[in-house]
Chain A
């Protein structure tokens, strides 16, 4: 065949493949929002489920997911950023450093259900936290850790070496240089990465399935040792375990979860673009 014609056909095929992916994404989003958004109103957002979950709203699930996400940030952000600072600013090439890097890479590849099993074995049973907000939060935090470490490392490395040298040349100590010069400059990148990590945690079901999530709770959790409802688990339950449910409830739950997760993703992407522009000026 004529090479020009082959090229035309090949490029056409590549373009079709790319658009196929975008169209499927569009269909998923359109389906969830067109059927879910009409179900979302103030009552749906602010009421508890009623009549064996076949009616009512998803308020406890929204609050539960917010608790889990906040807890994940509280545990994962400091430890993740500290790990990244150690790896970028302090660590010399040694077996300990190599071990830490290897652990982070492997942690990123551990399936979410294995994190769930580990959370069940360690936090729920061994440490005696029970199926609780605390156990779920810690499990999610460990799962989010590699994302935060990797992005924080990238952000720290992107700070020019000249900044550090200038600071040290002015007589600042290493500590002052790291925390007053390097860290503030890396903050936008760290922030973006953390939001992406947390967005992933908000949508995860498997890790909290065994460690934190409750099928139905009439009231909000009173302490960190209580079970919680959560949006992704509620969606799973409504889609598979409650046969007579009004289909608007799972669609509405899916829409709220998508708004939360995609909103966080969008915020991270916009933040990245914004900070990139700032840097160019």
Chain B
């Protein structure tokens, strides 16, 4: 590892050459230099505050735009209704169908992605040959890179007709279609983080179990995976967070019906899709506009909690290690 040749910084404050360095030891040089150090450190600190300021502003603006609806008594009462009819008179802003839609699709996605994702993680960490692993892990990383809108398009063009045919439905745009596409968005997160956690379990755990006469599979199930459980749980929580916050795929493939779903095979409408689909058409400052910010605030709080739980789990993991 070598730095670039020559000395492009000759004569500047950054010059490290001996001639300049001796000048730096001259007390006359020290003062401005100390000042520069301070200025740079302060500048870096201010840049680092950007993240904090952003989070505060997101809080502020979501709730600032949500509050006007909460101050109007009629629409506020309708938040607990069973329907989302934002353009009827009077408008009904029932959040339950949206929350139910989000939860149903997310639950379906997790039911599919956890066995697949954790299974693949165990396979890659404990069973696969190194050559297979070197090929499969980047491939799963590539899956993480496929844009959600492309997966949504694939869902419309290929998956929805397939599901329509298999179950003989009037439309293929259902909660199940959304759950399957979302599952494939959550799998890379779950697999990648679980694999790290399983691979980090000390090798002697496995060796001790094997030397007691257990088969490799018995050792994996009873010793290795339990030891990695907090990492795996954190991975699953992050996968849930990703699924519940995902917008474009569910907007495109779930059919967007604003009623409480009674099965996986009917169209549903999630919180994210509602915001994305309706925000373009509402009048700024209307009740409907503020209602969409209420949905955004609820979504923000839900994902915030999920990520907090994931963070607590993974921090407990670090302390335990």
Per the bound structure, the CA–CA distance linking A172 and B33 in Å amounts to 11
- A1-9, A42-50, A54-62: which lies at the interface: A1-9
- A218 within 8 A of partner (CB): no
Q: What is the 8 Å Cβ interface bit string for chain A, positions 189-205, against chain B (1 contact, 0 not)?
A: 00000001001101111
Q: Which of A66-74, A82-90, A219-227 contacts B (4 or more CB under 8 A)?
A: A82-90
Q: Are B142 and A18 in contact (CB under 8 A)?
A: no
Total contacting residues, chain B, CB less than 8 A: 95
Query: In the complex, how many angstroms separate the beta carbon of B274 from the nearest chain A beta carbon?
Result: 9
1/0 contact string of B274-296 vs chain A (CB within 8 Å): 01100110001000000011001
Q: Chain B's interface: helix, strand, loop or mixed, by majority?
A: helix
Give a binary string over B110-153; 1 marks a CB under 8 Å from any A CB, 0 the rest: 00000111011011100110000000101111110111111111
A266 to B272, CA, bound (A): 30
Would A117 and B62 be within 8 Å (CB), given that A111-B246, A180-B14, A206-B272 are in contact?
yes
| Chain A residues with CB under 8 A of B184 | 21, 24-25, 28
Map CB proximity to A onto B191-208 as digits: 1 under 8 Å, 0 otherwise.
Answer: 100000000000000000
Closest to A35 in B: B157
Interchain CB contact under 8 A, A83 and B50: yes
B37-71 at interface with A (beta carbon < 8 Å) = 37, 40-41, 43-45, 47-52, 54-55, 57-58, 61-62, 64-65
Which segment of B78-86, B164-172, B259-267, B297-305 sits at the interface? B297-305
Give chain B residues whose Cβ lies under 8 Å from the Cβ of A13: 119
Residues of chain B lying within 8 A (CB to CB) of residue A105: 307, 311
Complex Cα–Cα for A146 and B177 (A) = 31
Tell me which of B14, B24, B153, B300 contacts A179 (CB under 8 A): B14
Q: Determine the distance from Cα of A234 to Cα of B44 in the docked complex, in whole angstroms.
A: 38
Q: Determine if A106 and B307 form an interchain contact, defined as CB atoms under 8 angstroms apart.
A: yes
Question: How far, in whole Å, are A171 and B17 apart by their CA atoms in the complex?
Answer: 11
Report how many A-B pairs have Cβ atoms within 8 Å.
283
Cβ-neighbour of A199 out of B54, B57, B145, B152 (below 8 A)? B145
Measured between alpha carbons, how far is A158 from B245 in the docked complex, in Å? 32
Once the chains bind, are A239 and B252 in contact (CB under 8 Å)?
A: yes
Contact of A7 among B147, B216, B275 (CB under 8 A): B216
Contact between B14 and A176, CB atoms less than 8 A apart: yes
Beyond known contacts A21-B191, A114-B303, A146-B51: 5 more, CB 8 A cutoff: A3-B215, A7-B217, A18-B123, A21-B143, A111-B245
Q: What residues of chain A have their CB less than 8 Å away from a CB belonging to chain B? A: 3-4, 6-7, 10-11, 13-15, 17-18, 20-22, 24-25, 27-29, 31-32, 78-79, 82-83, 85-87, 90-91, 96, 99-100, 103-118, 120-122, 125-126, 142, 145-146, 149, 170-176, 179-181, 184-185, 196, 199-200, 202-206, 209-210, 232-233, 235-236, 239-240, 247, 250-251, 254, 257-258, 261-262, 264-266, 269, 278-279
Query: Can you list 25 A-B pairs, Cβ within 8 angstroms, ordered by A?
Result: A15-B123, A18-B120, A82-B47, A83-B47, A90-B44, A103-B51, A103-B54, A104-B51, A112-B247, A113-B275, A116-B275, A117-B275, A145-B51, A176-B16, A181-B3, A203-B147, A205-B247, A206-B148, A210-B280, A235-B149, A236-B251, A257-B150, A258-B146, A258-B147, A262-B142
